[in-house]
Amino acid sequence: MALAAVTAILHTARQHTAYGYRQVHAALKWEHPEVLPLSPISVYRTLNRHGLLGPRTSKTPPQSKRPWVRFERAKPHELWQVDVSYWYLDGWGYYYLHTVLDDHSRYIITSRLYRTYGAEDGIRMLETALAAVPAADRQGVQMLADHGVTYTAEPFRTACQTGHVDLIFASVGHPQTKGKLERWHRTIREALGDHVRHAPTPNAAQRIIDAYVTHYNHERPHSACHGYPPIWRYNRAQARKILGLPIPSDSHSA
């Protein structure tokens, strides 16, 4: 590999310390296009050789991993995944991060801290998600949830019916069904864990999360989006404005 390519890979990895090798490979498209084409495995080997894979990246070469059988809806707003994760804030105790993710694009529609994981705060999360998406764009949307008390409670079911959301449930004991959202939980916790924990107030913690959601949706390369951020699949017109790049067409996106 040419020295210029190695230098570009290492520079990109050091600029984006939270990125895995696939994100580094994708970021090269607009940060160092002069060194392309490079394969993801070349980036992986370069980072491994220089000790820059980091704790997030498996030391198992990517081509030797066992493939998962994956599913994905064809268009945005056909299916939303919803879940809660808990976060401890120093001096404030536990708060709960309620998140709605669009299955097709991996775009985070809402991700907000609430005081509880109960149905009342779940309904607030649902109302926030519905307000973020025009009704015409989400006609027939389904919401995939687990069997937690947030979603099985009658008030939450009623709120879904009122909002014209078809609530469906994942198989018990099979978290892979909501694997995209499980991966989001892991990604944001790895990126923000200590920053959120030590935030002076819950509102300050939410601002940190909001900034990261914007970065994730509009800037962070995603392997499921061919190395572009989720906005690329969620809203192509906005993606062209935000990224300022010639965005290729995609047969699965609007």
For 167-199, the three-class secondary structure string (H helix, E strand, C coil) is: EEECCCCCHHHHHHHHHHHHHHHHHHHHHHHCC
Among candidate residues 27, 29, 4, the one with its CA nearest the CA of residue 16: 27
For residues 13-21, average pLDDT: 74
Q: pLDDT for 113-139, tens place per residue?
A: 999 999 999 999 999 999 999 999 999
**Longest CA pairwise span in the chain (Å):** 62
Identity of the amino acid at 249: S
User: What's the CA gap between 117 and 7, in Å, rounded?
Assistant: 46
Q: What is the pLDDT of residue 254?
A: 43
Does pTM surpass 0.95?
no
Say if CB 250 and CB 233 are below 8 A apart: yes
Facing residues of 194 across strands? none
* Beta carbons of 75 and 252 less than 8 angstroms apart: yes
Collapse the DSSP code of 162 into the 3-class scheme (helix H, G, I; strand E, B; otherwise coil) and give the result: helix
User: Average pLDDT over the chain, rounded to whole?
Assistant: 83
Contact 106, 182 (CB under 8 A): no
Contacts of 254 (CB under 8 A, 6+ apart): 75, 76, 235, 236
86 by Cβ neighbours in 10 Å (0-12 / 13-18 / 19+) ranks as exposed
Question: Each residue of 36-81: pLDDT tens digit?
Answer: 777 778 888 888 877 777 654 555 555 555 554 456 888 999 999 9
Residues 150 and 218: their CA atoms lie apart, in Å, by 29
What is the SS3 assignment for 106? Answer: coil
Query: Is 188 in a helix, a strand, or coil?
Result: helix
Q: How confident is the model at residue 108 (pLDDT cuts 50, 70, 90)?
A: very high
The tokens describing 252, both together, are 């699965």
